[in-house]
Structure 1
Amino acid sequence: MHAAHSRPCPPRAPDKVEPPLQAPGAAKVCGVCGERAKSHHFGGMACDSCKAFFRRSVQNEAYRHFRCAYEGRCHITISSRKCCQNCRFQKCVKIGMEKKWVMSEEERQHQDKLRKERKRQRLEEADGRRAECPKPPSPMEAHRKSRHLFLSEQEVKEIDMLVKKFYESFQKCVKIGMEKKWVMSEEERQHQDKLRKERKRQRLEEADGRRAECPKPPSPMEAHRKSRHLFLSEQEVKEIDMLVKKFYESYSSNPLEPQSNPNGPALPTRVVSVFVNAVTRLVSYIFTLPRFRQIAACDQRVLLKHGVLAMLILRGSMVYDSGQDVFDIKAEGAKVGLDDVKSVMTPDLYQNHHKFVQKMQSLGLDITTLMLLQMVVLFSSDLSGLADPDAVARTQDHYTCLVRRYMSWWYGEETTRLLYPKMLHVLADLRALTEAHNMNT
């Protein structure tokens, strides 16, 4: 979840957003973020990134929980499209993308199966016709000899006009991006309707079950541990515990050498030593994560190259002590003051770094939320050079949904509706700060 600017929120968009008109022969542009597009997807001209975002949002029904902290007026561009899911989804809808055109994985597999079966039948029929009639006569060679017995010249002209108009309209549909493969057979449509009704029935039963179990649910802030099962599965709880445990285990496997003068100021070499040790520890921690090891090796290198520094900056906001103005790494007994950090940065970079830390501190996030946020930062699917961005996007979506559900349990749903979008907007500042660091190193 990154954006390329450092403001707390994207620029405000005008009240009314119209899909951009595509001039004939002009380069196709995504109506959501403005990136180059290949064709229409789900009824609207969209790039691959916005297409994948729209599909995932509808398939897992995450769009129902999207909220905008800025009254739905965020301006969506290539650099800010990750900042506000709600405004991005609403813009997808405005340019004509239809939720009902998004099929589930089961529906898509069933449709592929039907396509293959129809193709096989057509090939068999074609083979049968060739066997029955090795060399059929051309209709254009014989029909003219007897046509005058059945049709007048006026009727022939009318038939030719109807056929011509039909194929002209078909070509227009193809030019504007309509795909033949999107047209389902009657059997496929009935199967899809059946699946929709079954999912709706299951959701209603689950909702009735929750109401029966808890007619008057307690406040999450008063009894959140009792309601954890409503937000997190046992598997998700185990995964969160594993992330936290392995992170602190990385301290013991990569200890920091003791400072020669603990009470004196940290020398620049000491600051660099702490930084190098933190990088080593973080990389070793990342390689213990099962979901990271499932990513292709070439994509692992890309994620480490762009994600480790962002995770370190985020980690710094976790250990910052605003009362003493120091980064207090209690697990290692190391303290690095703001003045020590200032000695190894340019003034502008130091100011931006300090502002980001203060902004993160103002959100008041707990350690576990920040741990999960590190995973969202690491698995960035919009990085250039990824061989399989979809695999990275699925992992990032997993952690994005996981941190949302964890926050709903820990802070309560009402607080999370306000806190969650603000947290994602701060990630835009993190992206800009990381890029500034890279430019000055």
Structure 2
Amino acid sequence: MSKEHLSDCPPSQNSTEDNEEEDEEDWEPRVCQVCGDHATGYHFHAMTCEGCKGFFRRSVKRPTEFQCPRQGVCVITKLNRRECQACRLRKCLSIGMLKELIMSDEAVETRRNRIRRNKVFDRSLGLSPSQQSLIDELVNVHNKTFDATFSRFQFRPIDRDVNPMSVWKDTASCPKSALITHMDKWLSSFSRPTSTGSSSCSSEEKVEDDSDCGGNTVFTTLPHIADLTTYMIQNIISFAKGLHSFRALVIDDQISLLKGAMFEMMQIRFNMLFNVKTGNWECGSLTYCMDDAERAGFHRHLLDPLMQYHYTLRNLQLQEVEYVLMQAISLFSPDRAGLTHRNVIDKLQEKLAIMLKMHIDSKRTKSGKHLLYPKIVACLTEMRTMNEEYTNQVLHIVDVKPDNSFDPLILEVISKDP
């Protein structure tokens, strides 16, 4: 269709670049004074439709000697307005349309460019429908898998009777326990090969003096903390499996991502329950302090920076959406060990990072919001430095206290085997 034909089409969003804004009375009929069609407003100083507006602009910018075949007596209507250009132009001038109000080609192009720039700017401040849909999915799955009240948490009682103490000892004489290399029922759908390794010392290897295997060390809260960790792992696995983009990955990559991100995602979720005034984690009716982790056997090399991390992250005062996007960014990390489709995962993480930044830019109003995104990235990076230390300390506790405190699911998650 040519530009000439476009003049009689319904108005587009950008077709009013040369409108003259004037106040209109409520009673005034919106009828084109040239042809009687529905008028869209004042154009070049007269109430006209889009078709007559375009005709007048073209006729003036490309002047042509129009001739009337009926001696200039044509009555212009909506149906015949294209039959006699001479009478139509004369009617435009007679109702007061002004040639002086027509913008030059250069002015029209400048205005169009400004409109395009404004549209790009507007899009940069808001999430697209597809991005918002993905955020809605993430938040919905998070709410289904994050039990903030811990109402479904079944645990062994927590024992705080003994003061916290360091439990790291020289355990050179203590045999290293075999790691169970299969997931429990929450990962049974992954169809991963299993082995029958034992998590305790074998009868042939067991030493006579219990102190050689950490018998003198107190792990009063370890059973309860192990149950709490298992519960968090189960919920995080459910969160990941609830995401379409995660289920679309191959099984081995799913397992590698979960194992690599589990500690980080647990800390992000725990941070949502952290009270900076008391330094405690308020998990429904249960309240935990860092001493509980030390009583379980964890060392201050991990606990001190971890405590500082929770204060730092909580003081950012993140919204729920930002916490959820942090979890997803951590989950879809393309540098985890054992991944086979790193490019796919890298694109997923990049998309999530862009969404987090756009959410902050569009939803946050306080000054300093532009510093929030890099601060979140710094927190994610800091957690990576603690991830390996956490794994080493859990493995050490397994070595010095080789009983059934840890669920096989924990042992599989912290296993360094691919």
TM-score by length of 1: 0.46
Choose 1 or 2 for highest CA Rg. Answer: 2
Higher relative contact order (CA 8 A, sep 6+): 1
TM-score by length of 2: 0.48
More helix by share: 1
